[in-house]
Amino acid sequence: MRRIRVNRSNTMKIELEKIKKDQEVELSEVIPAESWDLDSFDVRFVNSICIDCTFTRVSNEILVDARVKTSRHITCSRCLRDTTCEVKQRFQLNYGINNLGDFLEVDRDVREEILLNFPMKVLCRDDCKGICPGCKVNLNIEECKCKKNSVNKREFETNKHE
């Protein structure tokens, strides 16, 4: 399959004529995060939104394979730490050719996908260990300080039974 690469277009807009059969067309776009207005109360999009799309024509449809990378400034709901994390997404979009004009513009749909894939729980990382309810340390950074005490307690209880 022939592959055409177009870099740094201003918008994810492509002339349908350019997407021919047996040919992939790639578009890359880097958008300042603030220009897409994605922020919610606990997530702020920072730096850039990087989008790579591969367009292919399959019979009467245009298929779009989209890879999106965003940077988000969040407050973790488990450990309460402020942090910036990178989120990568990949999704497919498809469009019936008959419903399109001369151009296909995917920016709005890409933006929607980013918002739809929003996590219910905002975490600094998937396996965030959170804060120990006992000694209140951030378990991602420090070891729990209650461990030692509970071991001592167990030893004490064992001794009692002897």
Residues near Zn ion, by CB under 5 A: 76, 78-79, 124, 128, 132, 134-135, 144, 146
Which residue number, 37 or 126, has a Cβ lying nearer to Zn ion? 126
Residue 38 beta carbon to Zn ion: minimum distance, rounded to whole angstroms: 21
Q: Are 119 and 77 in contact (CB under 8 A)?
A: no
Which residue number, 14 or 124, has a Cβ lying nearer to Zn ion? 124
Residue 114 beta carbon to Zn ion: minimum distance, rounded to whole angstroms: 21
The alpha carbon dihedral of 18, 23, 28, 29 has a sign of: positive
Structure tokens at 110: 């890409």
Residue 127 beta carbon to Zn ion: minimum distance, rounded to whole angstroms: 9
Residue 61 beta carbon to Zn ion: minimum distance, rounded to whole angstroms: 41
Q: 3-class SS at 81?
A: coil
Which residue number, 90 or 145, has a Cβ lying nearer to Zn ion? 145
Q: Are 14 and 103 in contact (CB under 8 A)?
A: yes
Match 């973790």 to its residue by tokens: 76
Which residue number, 57 or 78, has a Cβ lying nearer to Zn ion? 78
Residue type, 126: D
